[in-house]
Structures are given as C-alpha cells and as structure tokens.
Chain A
Amino acid sequence: MRHLIPEFEKMKERYPAGFESSLVLPCLRRVQEDRGFVSDDDIVALCEYLGVPRIQVEEVLSYYTMLLRKPLGKVHLQACRNIACSMRGAEGVIEHLCKRLGVKPGETTPDGTFTVSTVECLGSCGTAPVVMVNEAYHENVTLAQLDRLIEAVVEERAVVNGVEERAGVVEERAVDKGI
C-alpha cells in the first residue's frame, strides 16, 4: 500500500485538518482499485499511516458491500435484483448469467475470469434491467448483449472498462517489494 501514500497525501490536502479518520474509506477504495482487494498487510499499513485503530478498519471493511478481502474474478458482473429491475426482467438476466457461466450468485468461474453477484438498487431504474460490469453501468441490458460481452472477454480478452490494463498493473505490483 505504501506506494500509494503520495496519492493519499495529495488527497489529504483537500480535506479539513484533523480528518485522518475520514481517509479510511477513500484509501481503502484506492487500495482495492490497485490490488483488486484489501489484504491484511494493507490494513496494517493503513492503520499506521492514518493513526486509526485496527478494529475501525476491520469494521468498515466488513460492513460495505463493495469492499473485498479476497479478489474476485477479473470481470465482476453485478446484476441488480431490486424492484424496478425485477419488473423489467432482472430475474431472467441473473438466471441467464448463472447458467451461461456455470456459477451461482456470489461465485467465480473456476478460471477466475467472471464473478456473478446480485446487488440491490443501483440508481438506474429508468434503464432497467441494469448490470454493473466492473465500474461501468450496462443499462437496458439484454441477454444477447451480455452474451456478446462474455464472448468478447473470453475470446479476445478485450479491455472491459480498463480491466485488462488494471490486471497487468496488479500483477506487476504484486512483485514490487515493500507493499
């Protein structure tokens, strides 16, 4: 995590003085963006850097749905299962994704490429059904679109919202000592 400290220092500049505790969440998000998840070492380093108790970071990590302690697949497909999406076909979308990829919600394909999750309302009800693919919202999504997306990733390992690039970065940094 330590290589991110210069970024964190810049982040801190916009915050009022004495807001170290606030930085827990944005720092965790950045760590996860970098590594793909938050490791035990990251937690230790972050607590040291911010001067917050370990338990605070553990509570925050355990509470928010978007923060991960373990990596997921390279492509995280998060399908909304809330009301407007369910009324516009979300259940079919979820069923299709699970069947197509051979997983249950919450699981990752054995080759580590895809994870399928069901999530609550994403704030995109007008363009339901919606699937979040890594960072991006795929709105008004059809089964055919999802199939094409899956094929593109599997066959061409296409860039999906920068995930390929990010995967390369993660691999490189995993070798970097001192994290």
Chain B
Amino acid sequence: MPGRQLIMNFEVTPTSHTLEAYKARGGYETLAKALKMAPADITKEVTASGLLGHGGAAFPVGRKWGVMKPNPGEIHYLCANADEGEPGTFKDRWILEHAPHLLVESMLITSYALGVRHAFVYIRGEFDLPWRRIQAGIDDAYAAGYLGKPVFGSDFTLDIVVYRGAGSYVCGEASGLITSIEGRKPYPRNRPPRLTVRGLFQKPTVINNVESLANITGIIRMGAEEFRKVGTAKSPGTQLISISGHIAKPGVYEVEYGYPWAKFLDEDCGGVLHGAKLKCVVPGGISTKVLTRAEIEPLNLSHESVNPAGSGLGSGGMIVIAEGTCMVRLLQVLLRFYHHESCGQCTPCREGMGWMHRIIDRIVEGKGVPEDIERLYAISHANDGTTICGMGDAAGFATVGILNKYRDEFEYWIANGRSKMDGRLECLA
C-alpha cells in the first residue's frame, strides 16, 4: 500500500458501493455535521486543508470556492467533472463505480458551502457501468431523502442531475463542460470572466474534478489539521494514480503524497511488464513531460518533487514505457489524438494540431526532413499560452517533452526512413 488511504480505504465487494454499505462506513454522518457549520466555515476548512485539484491543474480548491460567496437569491451551480478523457486516466471512474455515495455526500457538503441548489455530474458519454452506479447512487439518495428535499432538519435542499456527454475530450475542460451542459457545441470560453463569476448559463459556477470533491467529506469529517497530517506540507493528502502501459499490475492506486516513486513502480505496481527495463514514464496524463528512469529515481510522488524535475503529476494518469518502445510512433498516437479532439475554435490549435499530425505521419511514412523537428518545436511553442483553452498548450508540452529527450529517434527515422526501435509500441515477453 503506497501510504495511508483516505478514499480507497475499504474492501471492494459486489455491494460495497450501495447506500447501506456506505452508511455502515459512516456515510452521510459528515453531512449532518457540515449542516451545523456555517457555509463560509466549510470553505475555510477546505482552504486550510490545502486540498489541490485533482483534474490536472492542481489549483487550490479552497481558493476556487472562495470566489463564490453564498449570496441568498443568487443562483450558483456546482459541476462534478467526471469526463475523464485524459489518456492514461481512469481513477474518477473508480470513485463512480465503487464510492458513488462518497461523491454524493461530498457534493451535498460542497453545495451547502457554496449556496448551490442545483448540481450536475458531467460524465463522459462512453462510461456505462460508472454511469449506472452514480445514477443509481443518486436515485437511492433521493429515495432516502438526502436529495430533493430539506435534509437533516436544515432548509438546505439539493438536486443533482447526471449529464451524459457524447464523445469529446474538450468537455473535460471546465468551460467546455458547462457549454456542453447548456446543450450547445462544447466550445471552451475565453477568460475573463472566470466561471466562478459567470459560468453555466452565465451564473457563478464551480467545476471540480470528481476526486477533488471525493476528498471533501473526509476533510470535513476529520478536520483540516488531521488531513494535513497525510501527505506532505506542500502536497497534503493523497492522489489516486491510474497506472497503465508496460507495467505488471496496472490499475488505480491511492498514493500518499511524498511516497517514493521508484518504490511505487517496482513494488506496489509489480515493476515493468515482463521484467523489462524502464525507458520513461508519462507522470500524469499525456500533456505532462516524460521523465526517464534516471530522472525518476530520486523523486517522490508530490508536486514539489516532480515539478522542479520539469514535469507534473497532473491528472495522475501514469503511463509506463519500457525500453524498446518507439517514441516516434508514440508521439504519432498522441498527435493523432490531439488533432481528433481539437474543437476548432481558435487558430493556433485548429491549424496547429492538424499540421503536427501531418508532419509526424509524413515522418513515419519515411518522407520526413530534418527541419520537421524544428517545425514541431515551433508549432508547439506557438500553442503555448496562445489558445482559448489548455489543449493547445497540452499538445505542445507532450511534443516538446518527447522531442527534448528522444530527438535522436526522430533524427534517425528522418535520416533512415524507419524506426530506430523497429517501430514497436508493445512490450513483448
């Protein structure tokens, strides 16, 4: 077990997701406690906990909440971001499938703190079991009287709608998400205005990742001080890491911040698949820059350890890449993805993603030229901080991260018309 567990702290059984099982674990008791607090005090507690967002940006949750003071008469919305489209990431799904009531209770507490009367769970359209579990959880919460009517003797009522997407990565971006809920094409929005000022249907809206919200119940139950005892000073608490790729035991692991990275890979996750050597790791979703085995050695899984190494824990979507994997083909898969998912609104991303995809396709076809590498750098740079949403930047970071460390493979393919590593993406026994 990679450290203390705050969320995955129960045995998963065929019924552990049910309301009965959740209540047996102390479920909805924290809601009763929260409703006796002043809403502003809940936000204070969350701020004091230092909880950082788990969607990828690691923005302090309390600070985001702090903009949206509950004003009677003002309409506020809360959205749980369950779009989970970042390649390599599949941990919010764990919460939806196995701890749906943790999310519901957390959304109740959060909505009470923020003056929200209507909340949404935006779930990606492809998810089937996770959707059925969270919808059933919400239906059971309605039947039990936690939702839809004043609860625990307070005058606070919450309605939650589960809104299913229909296939678009950009719906994981907060402003794309709410535009999707508005029933329109999910184009992300420029800021200002911040969404906490004008969001869903132009009303103040907080969008939090599912895992971020899942932490709220624990924080209010144990208090910020207790929460801070877990993890590190700069990275309090835990992170759900989804590990996949060339790893022996892929899956979702709850890691206490500060846990040694190499130990996590070698011991908790069984080491590289088939005992192969580690080439590099995508730490937290494909927009985080790859780190080599050597670079990972001295690091622990915390923001303050990984960020100075030139990368980030992001969404916790960790992809393990074994020696012998062709990084040119790997980048080709990523650029194909970004090209497919570009919404097409703004110039650098709309034109740039297609351009990069065509360049790498041409390199893989054997028709690359040396200046293609500089062009990939230039397009990445021209998407850094220049676009409406972070997808342009993400594609640029992914590209630059791989080019910086594996430029030789690209130069080889351009010079020789074939892969330096026989073009393989798999790790064979």
Asked whether A83 lies within 8 Å of B319 as measured between CB atoms, the reply is: yes
Q: Which of A41-61 contact B (CB under 8 A)?
A: 52, 56, 59-60
Q: Which of A125-141 contact B (CB under 8 A)?
A: 125-128, 132, 135-137
With an 8 A cutoff between CB atoms, is A67 at the interface?
yes
Asked whether A87 lies within 8 Å of B252 as measured between CB atoms, the reply is: no
Asked whether A83 lies within 8 Å of B330 as measured between CB atoms, the reply is: yes
Q: Which of B337-390 contact A (CB under 8 A)?
A: 337, 340-341, 343
Shortest Cβ distance from A19 into chain B, in angstroms? 8
Our pick among A63, A89, A125, A132 for the contact of B185 (Cβ within 8 Å) is A63
Asked whether B334 lies within 8 Å of A83 as measured between CB atoms, the reply is: yes
Asked whether A14 lies within 8 Å of B159 as measured between CB atoms, the reply is: yes
Contacts of A28 in B (CB 8 A): 166
Contacts of A87 in B (CB 8 A): 244-246, 319, 321, 325, 425-427
Question: Residue of B at shortest CB range from A52?
Answer: B183
Question: Residue of A at shortest CB range from B243?
Answer: A126
Shortest Cβ distance from B205 into chain A, in angstroms? 12
Whole-angstrom distance between the alpha carbons of A56 and B186 in the complex?
11
With A23-B183, A24-B183, A87-B321 as given contacts, are A123 and B333 in contact (CB-CB < 8 Å)? no
Contacts of B88 in A (CB 8 A): 83-84, 121, 125
With an 8 A cutoff between CB atoms, is A72 at the interface?
no
Asked whether A21 lies within 8 Å of B184 as measured between CB atoms, the reply is: yes
Contacts of B256 in A (CB 8 A): none
Whole-angstrom distance between the alpha carbons of A5 and B341 in the complex?
33
Asked whether B286 lies within 8 Å of A83 as measured between CB atoms, the reply is: yes
Q: Bits for B54-97, please: 1 = Cβ < 8 Å to A, else 0.
A: 00000000000000000000010000000011111110010000
With an 8 A cutoff between CB atoms, is A29 at the interface?
yes
Asked whether B333 lies within 8 Å of A86 as measured between CB atoms, the reply is: yes
Our pick among A15, A120, A126, A128 for the contact of B337 (Cβ within 8 Å) is A120
Contacts of A126 in B (CB 8 A): 90, 242-244, 250-252
By the criterion of a CB under 8 Å from any partner CB, how many residues of chain A are at the interface? 46
Asked whether A16 lies within 8 Å of B319 as measured between CB atoms, the reply is: no
Whole-angstrom distance between the alpha carbons of A14 and B135 in the complex?
13
Asked whether A66 lies within 8 Å of B167 as measured between CB atoms, the reply is: yes
Asked whether A25 lies within 8 Å of B166 as measured between CB atoms, the reply is: yes
Asked whether B161 lies within 8 Å of A123 as measured between CB atoms, the reply is: no
With an 8 A cutoff between CB atoms, is B1 at the interface?
no
With an 8 A cutoff between CB atoms, is A109 at the interface?
no
Whole-angstrom distance between the alpha carbons of A59 and B180 in the complex?
12
Asked whether B90 lies within 8 Å of A26 as measured between CB atoms, the reply is: no
Asked whether A66 lies within 8 Å of B129 as measured between CB atoms, the reply is: no
Q: Bits for B160-199, please: 1 = Cβ < 8 Å to A, else 0.
A: 0101111111000000000011111110000000000000
Asked whether B166 lies within 8 Å of A66 as measured between CB atoms, the reply is: yes
Shortest Cβ distance from A29 into chain B, in angstroms? 6
Asked whether A123 lies within 8 Å of B85 as measured between CB atoms, the reply is: yes
Segment of B4-12, B120-128, B298-306 engaged in the interface with chain A: B120-128
With an 8 A cutoff between CB atoms, is B118 at the interface?
yes
Whole-angstrom distance between the alpha carbons of A56 and B187 in the complex?
13
Our pick among A26, A60, A91, A125 for the contact of B87 (Cβ within 8 Å) is A125
Contacts of B325 in A (CB 8 A): 87
Question: Residue of A at shortest CB range from B130?
Answer: A123
Q: Which of A63-105 contact B (CB under 8 A)?
A: 63-67, 81-84, 86-89, 91
Which of B128, B161, B244, B337 has the most chain A CB within a 10 Å cutoff?
B244
With an 8 A cutoff between CB atoms, is A22 at the interface?
yes
With an 8 A cutoff between CB atoms, is B317 at the interface?
yes
Question: Residue of B at shortest CB range from A63?
Answer: B185
Contacts of A123 in B (CB 8 A): 84-85, 89-90, 93, 124, 126-127
Q: Bits for A7-43, please: 1 = Cβ < 8 Å to B, else 0.
A: 0000000111011111111101100000000000000
Whole-angstrom distance between the alpha carbons of A132 and B129 in the complex?
12
Our pick among B126, B186, B333 for the contact of A82 (Cβ within 8 Å) is B333
Q: Bits for B245-259, please: 1 = Cβ < 8 Å to A, else 0.
A: 110001110000000
Q: Which of B183-234 contact A (CB under 8 A)?
A: 183-186, 201
Question: Residue of B at shortest CB range from A90?
Answer: B425
Asked whether A120 lies within 8 Å of B340 as measured between CB atoms, the reply is: yes
Asked whether B167 lies within 8 Å of A64 as measured between CB atoms, the reply is: yes
Whole-angstrom distance between the alpha carbons of A119 and B336 in the complex?
11
With A121-B337, A126-B250 as given contacts, are A56 and B164 in contact (CB-CB < 8 Å)? no
Other than A14-B161, A87-B426, A119-B126, give 20 A-B pairs with Cβ distance below 8 A: A15-B161, A23-B183, A24-B183, A24-B184, A26-B163, A29-B125, A65-B166, A67-B166, A84-B87, A84-B244, A87-B325, A88-B426, A89-B426, A120-B85, A123-B89, A125-B244, A125-B317, A125-B319, A126-B252, A137-B129
Nearest 8 Cβ contacts at the A-B interface: A65-B167, A24-B183, A125-B244, A64-B166, A66-B167, A21-B183, A126-B250, A121-B87
Q: Can you identify 11 A-B contacts, CB atoms within 8 angstroms?
A: A16-B75, A16-B159, A18-B201, A24-B184, A65-B168, A82-B333, A87-B319, A87-B425, A88-B245, A91-B425, A120-B85
Contact residues of A with B, CB < 8 Å?
A: 14-16, 18-26, 28-29, 52, 56, 59-60, 63-67, 81-84, 86-89, 91, 119-128, 132, 135-137
